Amino acid sequence: MKKIGFLSFGHWTPSPQSGTRSAADALLQSIDLAVAAEELGADGAYFRVHHFARQLSSPFPLLAAVGARTRTIEIGTGVIDMRYENPLYMAEDAGAADLISGGRLQLGISRGSPEQVIDGWRYFGYEPAEGENASDMARRHTDVLLDVLRGEGFAKPNPEPMFPNPPGLLRPEPYSAGLRDRIWWGAGSNATAVWAANQGMNLQSSTLKDDETGEPFHIQQAKQIRAYRQAWEDAGHTRTPRVSVSRSIFALMNDRDRMYFGANRDSDDHVGFIDEKTRAIFGRSYAAEPEKLIEQLKQDEAIAEADTLLLTVPNQLGVDYNVHVIESILKYVAPEMGWRKA
């Protein structure tokens, strides 16, 4: 069995060809898709966060709204860029969203990806400390967040407060017990996956990672997951960690599916540079009739290693079409893969 959810980037554009023409469309359709996915029996509704872009950016109002409209589906991010975050404010927002959802928040965080602007986090008021780079700053913010989510007080109370305080040092509120175990790190390399394991975070691995061996993407990603799990065991953590991978997977069920994805120009991995120093490998997409799709997916070692699969959805094609995309996988592919009961 495997948890199956969707991952939406929440793209929008005013183009008449788009089914998502404004930020309001992107947000409201995201809520509607999460509700519909829950009704289908999907396990997760996850959202990507990008700043300075016509995409989803401020996740916590959206997560809280989804949490209020749903009852069982996990709600999460994949991922929030920690270079931009005030970790104490984030702990409050995350705690509120988690409480509204009844403890269903799965918070994916990371150093972030290449941006729309140069050093966008500077406009948010953040600067690396002396001797740090932006990645160091993101991990420092993460360390503070993880510490705060332990729920222990650290702030000295005012002896003459406006309202009565509980005894002892104070912590950010609201606090949601158990959220610390539902923090995920989006790792782009084997080393950052091992670091995430040592920190006691779950692992998110996307369709992009550093090209560290020259092997096919799914093999490199499977090795990353195994390295993470070994590091988790070596660190002596007592709970079982979770691991997700994301994929673009489309079952070609009708002429519309074939029109959109039948050519599948991304049926092979691609290698390129995401910055001047980092050679990366982009994983392939899958699009085929269910029988052929099942045979292809059985060869993907990383999907086999993960306990959670996130289906990246083409959100600008509208809620109804994306419901069809998710339902086709749940109904015609997942049972044959052993991810769902037949």
Enter the tokens of residue 317.
């094609």
Quote the crossing angle between the two packed helices 59-69 and 87-101, to the nearest 10°.
Answer: 10
Number of domains in the chain: 1
Alpha-carbon distance of 244 to 2, in angstroms, equals 10
Give me the CATH number covering residue 75.
3.20.20.30
291 found inside a domain: yes
99 found inside a domain: yes
Domain carrying residue 201: 3-337
103 found inside a domain: yes
234 found inside a domain: yes
Enter the tokens of residue 198.
């040592």
pLDDT given for residue 1 in this prediction = 85
Please choose, from the candidates 98, 202, 90, 191, the residue with its C-alpha nearest in 3D space to the C-alpha of residue 142: 90
Q: What contacts 135, CB < 8 A, 6 or more positions away?
A: 111
**pTM as predicted:** 0.96
Three-point CA angle 237, 189, 283, nearest 5° = 120
342 found inside a domain: no
pLDDT tens for the chain, 342 residues: list them. 899 999 999 999 999 999 999 999 999 999 999 999 999 999 999 999 999 999 999 999 999 999 999 999 999 999 999 999 999 999 999 999 999 999 999 999 999 888 899 999 999 999 999 999 999 999 999 999 999 999 999 999 999 999 999 999 999 999 999 999 999 999 999 999 999 999 999 999 999 999 999 999 999 999 999 999 999 999 999 999 999 999 999 999 999 999 999 987 778 989 998 877 889 999 999 999 999 999 999 999 999 999 999 999 999 999 999 999 999 999 999 999 999 987
What is the gyration radius of the CA atoms in the chain, in angstroms?
20
Task: Report helix, strand or coil for 77.
Answer: strand
